Structure formats: C-alpha cells, structure tokens
C-alpha cells in the first residue's frame, strides 16, 4: 500500500457517517482535519484511542482542527459506539476499506506473531487545502493522542 508524505494531496473519500449521512474530504476544505483510522468500534484498544480523542477534542477544536474516526464498521455500530462513549465527533464507515487503502492504512501487519492483512492504525493531519501535514502509521492506541497534540502544539 502507498504511504502518504507531508505535502502530498490527501486522497479524496466519500463515506457515510454514523447517521448514514454522506461525508467527503471536500466537506472539510478551509478547515484542518485530524482523521484517525482504527480497526473496530467497541474493542478495547479502539475505545481507548477514541476516548482519548474525545477527551482532547476541545483543545484540538480550539486550535482549528476537526476530528473524525474512520473504520470498516457499519453506521449502526458506529452510532452505538458514539452513543456509548459520548464521542463528540463523527465516525465514518468504510466497509470496503477503499479509503483505508488510499491512505495506506490497510495492508500486511503483525498480529500476535502472524502476518495478516487488515487495518493499520494510522492518523492523518490534513491542512485547509487538503494536503497532508502529518501521516502517522502503525500507531499505538495508548498515548497516541498525546503524541498528536504535542506534534500540533495543542
């Protein structure tokens, strides 16, 4: 899978959110975006990461960033996840993992000592014009949001 570098255009996507509403990258033009790709809603690691973003969303928003999470889960599961954990940002559904592939967040990875194909936990910071500011691959669920905030000075 391709890896995105700083300064490259962010691949466009058209997905639906937890309420079935269409969302595209172009909807965020003029705003900075933090998009995090995670394996599965309501699993322990993904819950930790999503709640860390929840707890940091106010300072991120104050600094001009919008946060979205992207997974392969269907909208109903995303809605349940958002409601259960009071997540104040949209969760986008990418069931065919096309956006994951475009961002390099899908591919071979190690899972309990075996090579498997799946979601590579990744976060992308995208500027107002749709260019990649930061592409962070193979991130850990715990402590990752603090790293993002430090990188952004937030």
Per-residue pLDDT of the chain (154 residues; tens, 9 = 90+): 678 999 999 999 999 999 999 999 999 999 999 999 999 999 999 999 999 999 999 999 999 999 999 999 999 999 999 999 999 999 999 999 999 999 999 998 877 888 889 999 999 999 999 999 999 999 999 999 999 999 999 9
Q: What is the pTM of this model?
A: 0.95
Residues 6+ apart with CB under 8 A from 115: 108, 109
The whole-angstrom separation of Cα 82 and Cα 76 is 10
Question: Contact 63/85 with Cβ under 8 angstroms?
Answer: no
The whole-angstrom separation of Cα 57 and Cα 10 is 22
The whole-angstrom separation of Cα 144 and Cα 80 is 23
In the three-class reduction of DSSP (H, G, I as helix; E, B as strand; rest coil), residue 41 is classed as coil
Q: State the pLDDT at residue 2.
A: 76
Q: Provide the residue count of the chain.
A: 154
Q: State the pLDDT at residue 1.
A: 61
The whole-angstrom separation of Cα 154 and Cα 138 is 22
Residues 6+ apart with CB under 8 A from 133: 6, 32, 125, 126, 127
The verdict on whether 51 is a catalytic residue reads no
Q: State the pLDDT at residue 110.
A: 77
If you ran DSSP here, which 8-state letter would residue 10 be given? Answer: P
How is domain 14-152 classified at the architecture level of CATH? 3-Layer(aba) Sandwich (3.40)
Give the residue extent of every domain in the chain. Answer: 14-152
Catalytic residue among 23, 33, 46, 145: 46
Chain-centroid distance, C-alpha 34: 7
The whole-angstrom separation of Cα 108 and Cα 34 is 24
């Amino acid at each position: 899978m391709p890896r995105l570098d700083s300064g490259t255009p962010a691949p466009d996507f058209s997905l639906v959110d937890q309420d079935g509403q269409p969302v595209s990258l172009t909807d965020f033009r003029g705003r900075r975006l933090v998009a995090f790709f995670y394996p599965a809603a309501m699993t322990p690691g993904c819950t930790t990461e999503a709640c860390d973003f929840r707890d940091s969303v106010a300072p991120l928003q104050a600094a001009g960033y919008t946060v979205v999470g992207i997974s392969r889960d269907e909208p109903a599961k995303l809605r349940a996840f958002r409601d259960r954990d009071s997540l104040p940002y949209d969760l986008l559904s990418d069931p065919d993992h096309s956006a994951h592939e475009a961002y390099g967040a899908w591919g071979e990875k190690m899972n309990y000592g075996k090579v498997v194909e799946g979601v590579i936990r990744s976060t992308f910071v995208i500027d107002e014009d749709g260019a990649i500011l930061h592409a962070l691959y193979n991130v850990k669920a715990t402590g990752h949001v603090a790293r993002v905030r430090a990188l952004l000075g937030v």
